[in-house]
A and B are shown apart, each in its own frame.
Chain A
Amino acid sequence: DTAVSQTPKYLVTQMGNDKSIKCEQNLGHDTMYWYKQDSKKFLKIMFSYNNKELIINETVPNRFSPKSPDKAHLNLHINSLELGDSAVYFCASSQPGANTEAFFGQGTRLTVV
């Protein structure tokens, strides 16, 4: 069984469109994250949620809106897509605390044309 699953795996869309990426975890974790990996492989946190509440928002544009309907899901909706949004987006989950392992999904490769 996949621990952290993201859909879709690949997403190609035109500038200006609105798209969503879904993430689900079946590990019973309280904390979920979204990370962005750019073309140079830098990984940067975008959001973290704990028990459906936003904990970290790392200066992400308002066009990005995460939504956590329950603890097992953290979806990412992006409005008015721009070329610079092209990247691989990773969802992850963990229990809170610095000594807990974070499990990552396989990533969603978003290409904006």
Chain B
Amino acid sequence: GEDVEQSLFLSVREGDSSVINCTYTDSSSTYLYWYKQEPGAGLQLLTYIFSNMDMKQDQRLTVLLNKKDKHLSLRIADTQTGDSAIYFCAERSDYKLSFGAGTTVTVRA
């Protein structure tokens, strides 16, 4: 998506933390989302954050939001082989989700 940008690839060792970064442009976005897509599958919502929050933690996932810089990140603690997938950040309006290009995360043993 032209309004949401992500780095395209990330390689991480099993057990390490993964950090996926995203920048967005629409300052009016109230909710920002992270989706996961495994090979050959649809999109699964991982987590989301409301724009008045700086951080949200959900088990191994931590989302950080810097609203001033329009920067969003997703940290996955203790990355496992099952975390290998494409991760999309997305900004939401009432009738539309605008996605970034997706970050392909590869977990190596």
Which residues of A does B touch, CB under 8 Å? 4, 31, 33, 40-45, 48, 50, 55-56, 90, 92, 96-99, 101-107
Contacts and interface: CB of A to CB of B under 8 A. Distances in A.
B101 interface: yes
A104 B98 CA distance: 14
Interface in B63-103: 86, 88, 92-99, 101-102
A90 B42 contact: yes
B90 to A, nearest CB: 8
Given A56-B96, A99-B30, A43 B45 contact: no
A107 B94 CA distance: 22
A50 B95 CA distance: 8
B45 A98 contact: no
B31 A99 contact: yes
B32 to A, nearest CB: 10
B21 interface: no
Interface in B22-67: 29-31, 37, 41-45, 48, 50
